[in-house]
Amino acid sequence: MSPERNMRIRQLLALRQPSLTLCLEQLDKPHNVSAIVRSCDAVGVHEVQAIWKKKAQIRKGTAMGSENWVYTREHSSIENAVRYLKQQKMQVLVTNLSDKAVDFREVDYSLPTAIILGQEKHGATDEAIALADQEIVIPMVGMVQSLNVSVAAALILYEAQRQRQIAGMYNQPQLSAEECQKVLFQGGFPRYREICDRKGIEYPYVDEHGHIQADDALMAKNTTTECKPFSRHEYSRLKGLWS
């Protein structure tokens, strides 16, 4: 990849916030999901959680490529999603209009945090509300009681970003070296990533200059998998990147 792209991806990785995530519970409007993913990328969210009733397709014109940089972890139920989030030591918040809800700005987002956003029409399910640690609400003084879910997500995320910037959390990289390597290869070499994924072999190492570092031994590993080995043309394309 070019030096400029290598530097841009590394800058992105240095600012990613793996301890901040959204949990999308049965959202079904593609434009909302796409806008939420775009906001996630903008504030450094590395991964979103999703429970689909029917998987929403990302609208590329709305997401503007952010879907390539924000990973989605799918869960079969809200119970499994919350269990996973609490295993990550996250406080779990849920947006809900109730007497128990606190102003979203009163929460400490410098803590590992997950925010559940419910379905567009009906909001969060009773199960999600019961499983969450705290209900939050965006104060409204007009005739309507709630914002569009993608707008609400952006407001909450930017409050989280504001608090985390004050706490200096964007000054210290948080992603593991292993995760950084994965993103560098996937984002820097998308066509070769497709070959590696299709063949079922590990990604090669990307050095500080954005060059792939690997040898014949790594490429030969694919012959021990159930996948078909590289064709001579595919092998040459990959090996030519670091030779």
The tens digit of pLDDT for each residue in 127-162 reads: 999 999 999 999 998 878 889 999 999 999 999 999
Number of Cβ atoms within 10 Å of the Cβ of 74: 13
Query: Average model confidence (pLDDT) for the chain?
Result: 87
Same domain? 155 vs 198:
no
- Both 23 and 89 in a single domain? yes
Instruction: Answer with the one of 166, 195, 221 that is the final residue of a domain.
Output: 166
So what's the pLDDT on residue 127?
A: 97
3-state secondary structure of 206: strand
The annotation status of 12 as a binding-site residue, yes or no, is: no
Closest by Cα among 46, 150, 159 to 108: 159
Same structural domain, 43 and 94: yes
Residue 7 lies in a domain: no
Please report whether residue 172 resides in a domain: no
Q: Known binder of ligand: residue 95?
A: yes
Cα separation of 193 and 179, whole Å? 15
Instruction: Please count the structural domains in the chain.
Output: 2
Distance CA 107, CA 116 (A): 14
pTM for the structure as a whole:
0.84
**Nearby residues of 102 by Cβ (< 8 Å), 6 or more positions away:** 134, 135, 136, 137
pLDDT band at 121 (very low <50, low <70, confident <90, very high): confident
Handedness of CA 77, 57, 185, 172 (dihedral sign): negative
Residue 8 maps to a domain: no
Per-residue pLDDT tens digits for 35-44: 999 999 999 9
Instruction: List beta partners, residue 114.
Output: 21, 92
Last residue of a domain, one of 166, 185, 215: 166
Same domain assignment for residues 49 and 113: yes
- Asked whether residue 218 is domain-assigned, the answer is yes
* Distances in whole angstroms, Cα of residue 101 to Cα of each of 104, 105, 132: 8, 11, 11
Q: Confirm whether residue 113 is marked as ligand binding.
A: no
Co-location of 160 and 218 in the same domain? no
Which among 119, 134, 166 is the end of a domain? Answer: 166
Lowest mean pLDDT among 12-26, 127-141, 223-237: 223-237
Tell which residue, 3, 18, 5, 8, has the closest CA to residue 177.
Answer: 18
On whether residue 3 sits in a domain, the answer given is no
Q: What is the pLDDT of residue 67?
A: 79
Is residue 171 included in any domain, yes or no?
no
Same domain as 31, residue 136: yes
Which one-letter DSSP state was computed for residue 229? P
Which residues constitute the domain of residue 102?
Answer: 17-166
Domain identity same for 104 and 193: no
Residue 31 CA to residue 8 CA, distance in Å, equals 27
